[in-house]
Chains A and B, each alone.
Chain A
Amino acid sequence: GAVVSQHPSWVICKSGTSVKIECRSLDFQATTMFWYRQFPKQSLMLMATSNEGSKATYEQGVEKDKFLINHASLTLSTLTVTSAHPEDSSFYICSARAAGMNTEAFFGQGTRLTVV
Protein backbone atom coordinates (compact mmCIF):
# COMPACT_ATOMS: atom_id res chain seq x y z
CA GLY A 1 0.00 0.00 0.00
CA ALA A 2 0.90 3.65 -0.17
CA VAL A 3 3.08 5.25 2.49
CA VAL A 4 2.36 8.24 4.66
CA SER A 5 5.24 9.53 6.72
CA GLN A 6 5.00 11.76 9.76
CA HIS A 7 7.83 13.71 11.29
CA PRO A 8 8.84 13.86 14.04
CA SER A 9 7.75 10.61 15.68
CA TRP A 10 7.99 12.24 19.06
CA VAL A 11 8.71 15.71 20.37
CA ILE A 12 9.04 17.33 23.76
CA CYS A 13 8.58 21.07 23.98
CA LYS A 14 8.29 23.75 26.62
CA SER A 15 4.97 25.27 27.49
CA GLY A 16 4.32 28.37 25.40
CA THR A 17 6.36 27.31 22.40
CA SER A 18 5.07 26.14 19.02
CA VAL A 19 5.59 22.77 17.42
CA LYS A 20 5.25 21.80 13.78
CA ILE A 21 4.39 18.28 12.66
CA GLU A 22 4.80 17.24 9.04
CA CYS A 23 2.81 14.68 7.12
CA ARG A 24 3.98 13.51 3.73
CA SER A 25 2.49 11.13 1.20
CA LEU A 26 5.50 9.42 -0.31
CA ASP A 27 4.16 7.73 -3.40
CA PHE A 28 0.79 9.24 -4.20
CA GLN A 29 -0.88 12.60 -4.44
CA ALA A 30 -2.91 13.28 -1.36
CA THR A 31 -5.62 15.70 -2.34
CA THR A 32 -7.11 15.41 1.11
CA MET A 33 -5.35 15.04 4.43
CA PHE A 34 -6.84 14.56 7.86
CA TRP A 35 -5.44 15.28 11.29
CA TYR A 36 -6.50 13.22 14.25
CA ARG A 37 -5.76 13.31 17.93
CA GLN A 38 -5.69 10.18 20.02
CA PHE A 39 -5.74 10.17 23.81
CA PRO A 40 -4.43 7.13 25.68
CA LYS A 41 -6.65 4.10 25.22
CA GLN A 42 -9.16 6.13 23.27
CA SER A 43 -10.20 6.36 19.65
CA LEU A 44 -9.05 8.79 17.01
CA MET A 45 -10.73 12.15 17.20
CA LEU A 46 -10.83 14.01 13.91
CA MET A 47 -9.48 17.53 14.31
CA ALA A 48 -9.61 18.85 10.78
CA THR A 49 -9.79 18.02 7.10
CA SER A 50 -7.60 19.82 4.62
CA ASN A 51 -7.77 19.85 0.86
CA GLU A 52 -4.73 20.89 -1.11
CA GLY A 53 -4.67 24.59 -1.78
CA SER A 54 -7.62 25.52 0.41
CA LYS A 55 -8.30 26.29 4.04
CA ALA A 56 -8.77 23.43 6.45
CA THR A 57 -12.20 22.53 7.77
CA TYR A 58 -12.08 22.15 11.52
CA GLU A 59 -14.31 19.94 13.61
CA GLN A 60 -16.48 21.49 16.26
CA GLY A 61 -14.55 22.35 19.39
CA VAL A 62 -11.13 22.44 17.72
CA GLU A 63 -9.43 25.83 17.93
CA LYS A 64 -8.33 27.02 14.50
CA ASP A 65 -5.84 29.51 15.88
CA LYS A 66 -4.22 26.95 18.10
CA PHE A 67 -3.92 24.14 15.59
CA LEU A 68 -2.74 25.68 12.34
CA ILE A 69 -2.98 23.41 9.33
CA ASN A 70 -1.30 24.03 6.02
CA HIS A 71 -1.71 21.84 2.96
CA ALA A 72 0.35 23.66 0.39
CA SER A 73 1.16 20.75 -1.89
CA LEU A 74 -0.27 17.39 -2.90
CA THR A 75 2.29 15.56 -0.81
CA LEU A 76 2.70 17.68 2.31
CA SER A 77 0.48 18.91 5.11
CA THR A 78 1.66 20.46 8.36
CA LEU A 79 0.04 20.84 11.75
CA THR A 80 1.44 23.55 14.00
CA VAL A 81 0.45 23.53 17.64
CA THR A 82 0.86 27.13 18.71
CA SER A 83 1.59 28.25 22.25
CA ALA A 84 1.49 24.67 23.42
CA HIS A 85 0.30 23.79 26.91
CA PRO A 86 0.52 20.52 28.83
CA GLU A 87 -3.09 19.71 27.96
CA ASP A 88 -2.05 19.62 24.30
CA SER A 89 0.11 16.61 25.04
CA SER A 90 -1.26 13.81 22.95
CA PHE A 91 -0.70 11.49 20.02
CA TYR A 92 -1.33 13.21 16.70
CA ILE A 93 -1.97 11.16 13.59
CA CYS A 94 -2.32 12.25 10.01
CA SER A 95 -4.10 10.45 7.23
CA ALA A 96 -4.13 11.00 3.49
CA ARG A 97 -6.47 10.09 0.68
CA ALA A 98 -6.07 10.46 -3.04
CA ALA A 99 -8.77 11.98 -5.21
CA GLY A 100 -11.50 9.85 -6.71
CA MET A 101 -14.18 7.55 -5.48
CA ASN A 102 -13.61 4.82 -2.94
CA THR A 103 -10.00 5.70 -2.23
CA GLU A 104 -8.35 4.28 0.83
CA ALA A 105 -7.12 6.45 3.67
CA PHE A 106 -3.50 5.78 4.61
CA PHE A 107 -2.14 6.66 8.01
CA GLY A 108 1.10 8.07 9.27
CA GLN A 109 2.87 6.48 12.20
CA GLY A 110 1.81 9.26 14.52
CA THR A 111 3.62 11.92 16.56
CA ARG A 112 3.80 11.81 20.33
CA LEU A 113 3.77 15.40 21.63
CA THR A 114 4.71 16.07 25.24
CA VAL A 115 4.48 19.62 26.52
CA VAL A 116 6.38 20.27 29.75
Chain B
Amino acid sequence: AQRVTQPEKLLSVFKGAPVELKCNYSYSGSPELFWYVQYSRQRLQLLLRHISRESIKGFTADLNKGETSFHLKKPFAQEEDSAMYYCALSGRGGYQKVTFGTGTKLQVIP
Protein backbone atom coordinates (compact mmCIF):
# COMPACT_ATOMS: atom_id res chain seq x y z
CA ALA B 1 0.00 0.00 0.00
CA GLN B 2 1.16 3.51 -0.67
CA ARG B 3 0.83 6.14 1.99
CA VAL B 4 1.83 9.75 2.47
CA THR B 5 2.10 11.35 5.90
CA GLN B 6 2.15 15.07 6.57
CA PRO B 7 2.33 15.45 10.35
CA GLU B 8 1.50 19.15 10.55
CA LYS B 9 -1.97 20.45 9.77
CA LEU B 10 -0.91 24.05 10.22
CA LEU B 11 2.44 25.74 10.07
CA SER B 12 2.73 29.40 10.94
CA VAL B 13 5.94 31.29 10.26
CA PHE B 14 6.91 34.92 10.09
CA LYS B 15 7.77 36.55 6.80
CA GLY B 16 11.44 36.03 6.06
CA ALA B 17 11.73 32.98 8.28
CA PRO B 18 12.72 29.56 6.89
CA VAL B 19 10.00 27.08 6.05
CA GLU B 20 10.04 23.30 6.19
CA LEU B 21 6.94 21.27 5.44
CA LYS B 22 7.41 17.65 6.39
CA CYS B 23 6.43 14.67 4.29
CA ASN B 24 7.12 10.99 4.82
CA TYR B 25 6.00 8.21 2.56
CA SER B 26 5.55 4.48 2.37
CA TYR B 27 5.86 2.65 -0.94
CA SER B 28 7.31 -0.63 -2.10
CA GLY B 29 9.32 0.17 -5.18
CA SER B 30 10.57 3.38 -6.75
CA PRO B 31 8.03 6.12 -6.19
CA GLU B 32 7.62 9.46 -7.79
CA LEU B 33 7.14 12.26 -5.26
CA PHE B 34 5.39 15.57 -5.79
CA TRP B 35 4.43 18.69 -3.93
CA TYR B 36 1.15 20.31 -4.95
CA VAL B 37 -0.06 23.70 -3.80
CA GLN B 38 -3.59 25.06 -3.56
CA TYR B 39 -3.96 28.79 -3.18
CA SER B 40 -7.20 30.20 -1.86
CA ARG B 41 -10.08 29.54 -4.26
CA GLN B 42 -7.81 28.03 -6.90
CA ARG B 43 -7.30 24.54 -8.19
CA LEU B 44 -4.48 22.25 -7.20
CA GLN B 45 -1.30 22.88 -9.13
CA LEU B 46 2.02 21.16 -9.24
CA LEU B 47 4.75 22.94 -7.32
CA LEU B 48 7.61 20.55 -7.90
CA ARG B 49 8.52 16.92 -8.39
CA HIS B 50 11.58 15.06 -7.25
CA ILE B 51 12.70 13.88 -10.69
CA SER B 52 13.12 17.40 -12.02
CA ARG B 53 15.26 18.53 -9.09
CA GLU B 54 14.40 22.15 -9.76
CA SER B 55 13.49 25.03 -7.52
CA ILE B 56 10.08 26.62 -8.01
CA LYS B 57 9.24 29.93 -6.33
CA GLY B 58 12.25 29.37 -4.10
CA PHE B 59 11.02 25.99 -2.85
CA THR B 60 13.12 22.85 -2.98
CA ALA B 61 12.57 19.29 -1.90
CA ASP B 62 15.03 16.44 -1.72
CA LEU B 63 14.04 12.82 -1.79
CA ASN B 64 15.67 10.93 1.07
CA LYS B 65 15.15 7.26 0.39
CA GLY B 66 16.79 6.20 3.65
CA GLU B 67 14.37 8.24 5.72
CA THR B 68 11.54 7.90 3.16
CA SER B 69 11.05 11.63 3.32
CA PHE B 70 10.44 14.43 0.84
CA HIS B 71 10.37 17.58 2.93
CA LEU B 72 9.62 20.91 1.26
CA LYS B 73 11.89 23.81 2.14
CA LYS B 74 12.23 27.49 1.49
CA PRO B 75 14.86 29.70 3.12
CA PHE B 76 12.78 32.87 3.38
CA ALA B 77 8.99 32.72 3.55
CA GLN B 78 6.91 35.32 1.71
CA GLU B 79 3.30 36.30 2.36
CA GLU B 80 2.22 34.96 -1.02
CA ASP B 81 3.40 31.51 0.02
CA SER B 82 0.38 31.18 2.31
CA ALA B 83 -1.59 28.21 0.93
CA MET B 84 -2.37 24.54 1.40
CA TYR B 85 0.49 22.25 0.49
CA TYR B 86 -0.01 18.60 -0.35
CA CYS B 87 2.70 16.01 -0.65
CA ALA B 88 1.82 13.26 -3.12
CA LEU B 89 3.19 9.95 -4.28
CA SER B 90 2.79 7.86 -7.39
CA GLY B 91 4.35 4.85 -9.00
CA ARG B 92 6.29 5.48 -12.18
CA GLY B 93 4.05 5.60 -15.22
CA GLY B 94 1.13 7.75 -16.30
CA TYR B 95 -1.43 5.10 -15.41
CA GLN B 96 -0.38 5.03 -11.75
CA LYS B 97 -2.64 6.64 -9.18
CA VAL B 98 -1.53 9.65 -7.19
CA THR B 99 -2.00 9.41 -3.43
CA PHE B 100 -2.10 12.59 -1.36
CA GLY B 101 -1.12 13.41 2.16
CA THR B 102 -3.54 15.22 4.44
CA GLY B 103 -2.03 18.58 3.60
CA THR B 104 -0.36 21.33 5.59
CA LYS B 105 -1.68 24.83 5.70
CA LEU B 106 1.17 27.31 5.58
CA GLN B 107 0.42 30.66 7.10
CA VAL B 108 3.01 33.36 6.64
CA ILE B 109 2.62 36.15 9.15
CA PRO B 110 3.56 39.63 7.92
Give every chain A residue within 8 A of B32 (Cβ-Cβ).
Answer: 102
In the bound assembly, the distance between CA atoms of A46 and B86 in angstroms comes to 14
CB contacts under 8 Å to A, within B86-110, are 86, 90, 92-103
Give the residue of A49, A51, A100, A109 whose beta carbon is less than 8 angstroms from that of B43: A109
Interface string of A42-59 (1 = CB under 8 A from B): 111010010100000000
CB contacts under 8 Å to B, within A96-114, are 97-110
Q: Number of contacting residues on B, CB 8 A? A: 23
Known interface pairs A93-B44, A102-B32, A104-B46. Does A31 touch B100 (Cβ–Cβ under 8 Å)? no
Known interface pairs A43-B86, A44-B86. Does A107 touch B97 (Cβ–Cβ under 8 Å)? no
Give the residue of B86, B93, B102, B103 whose beta carbon is less than 8 angstroms from that of A101: B93
Interface string of B66-99 (1 = CB under 8 A from A): 0000000000000000000010001011111111
Give the residue of B44, B92, B94, B102 whose beta carbon is less than 8 angstroms from that of A107: B44
Interface string of B25-59 (1 = CB under 8 A from A): 00000001010100000011110010100000000
Give the residue of B51, B90, B92, B102 whose beta carbon is less than 8 angstroms from that of A43: B102
| Interface pair A107/B45, CB less than 8 Å apart | yes
Interface of A is mostly: loop
In the bound assembly, the distance between CA atoms of A18 and B66 in angstroms comes to 48
Known interface pairs A42-B102, A46-B99, A102-B32. Does A110 touch B43 (Cβ–Cβ under 8 Å)? yes
Other A-B contacts than A97-B94, A102-B32, A102-B49, 14 sampled, CB-CB below 8 A, are A32-B96, A42-B102, A43-B86, A43-B101, A43-B103, A93-B43, A101-B93, A101-B94, A105-B46, A105-B90, A105-B98, A107-B43, A108-B43, A109-B43
